Amino acid sequence: MGIVGIDSQNFEFLRPSRPPLADLGGFAERYARVDPASSLIKQRGFVEHAVLAIYEAYNLEQPFSDNLNDLMFAEPFRLSVPDIILNKLHTVRKAGNHAAHPRQPITSQRSLDTLVCLLDIARWFHVQVDGGDPAAWAKYVVPAADHGRNDRNRDA
């Protein structure tokens, strides 16, 4: 069960099998406009969880180093994930790294753009890793400017 108030607009299809991913997607949506750096960090966290789940589901041997970049560049992983998804995983990873160590301002537009990549990753993951049904996907909804502001104290 997810934390009250963390329901997402786009990632709820993951909740039955992967509640932490649905929660991370929900947080990323909520922060996308009001705190884009936090959104990007939550998106990177989603990728970390997903990559480890792919290793587990496909029974892949992990490299000696467990840092995300090394996990994603390891040959068994690269051979198991389509290039288009690998590219999106790297896009989100790099954006999250940039958000954690910014050298230039983090914009809400970057967070929103990366959120679209994250949803593509989530959809692929849902079908390929969890054997989910694409019919569970709703049409993408861009997080509203006030998304998350009115319910911050919902679970207090």
Which of the four pLDDT bands, split at 50, 70 and 90, describes residue 30?
Answer: very high
Tell me how far apart the alpha carbons of residues 21 and 48 are, in angstroms, rounded to a whole number.
10
Distances (CA, A) of 51 to 73, 91, 100, 155: 11, 14, 19, 30
Phi-psi region of 5 (alpha: psi -120 to 50; beta: other; left: phi over 0): left
Q: Which residue has the tokens 């589901």?
A: 57
Q: What is the average pLDDT across 121-147?
A: 91
**105/76 Cα distance (integer angstroms):** 36
Q: In this predicted structure, what is the pLDDT of residue 66?
A: 87
Distances, alpha carbon 17 to alpha carbons 11, 55, 97, 124, 127, in Å: 12, 16, 27, 14, 11
pLDDT at 146: 66
Task: Considering only residues 156 and 102, tell me which one the structure prediction assigns the higher pLDDT.
Answer: 102
Matching residue, tokens 């840092």 = 67
CB 22 within 8 A of CB 2: yes
**Cα separation, 111 vs 32, whole angstroms:** 5
Q: What pLDDT does residue 151 have?
A: 46
Among the residue ranges 84-88, 96-100, 121-125, the one predicted with the least confidence is 96-100
| pLDDT tens digit sequence for 36-92 | 999 999 999 999 999 999 999 999 999 988 899 999 999 999 999 999 999 999 999
Q: Which residue has the higher pLDDT, 104 or 127?
A: 127
Q: Taking residues 24-36, what's their average pLDDT?
A: 95
pLDDT the model gives residue 42 = 97
Those residues with Cβ within 8 angstroms of residue 144's Cβ, 6 or more apart along the chain or in another chain: 33
| Tens of pLDDT, residues 1-28 | 444 547 789 999 999 999 999 999 999 9
Q: How confident is the model at residue 144 (pLDDT cuts 50, 70, 90)?
A: confident
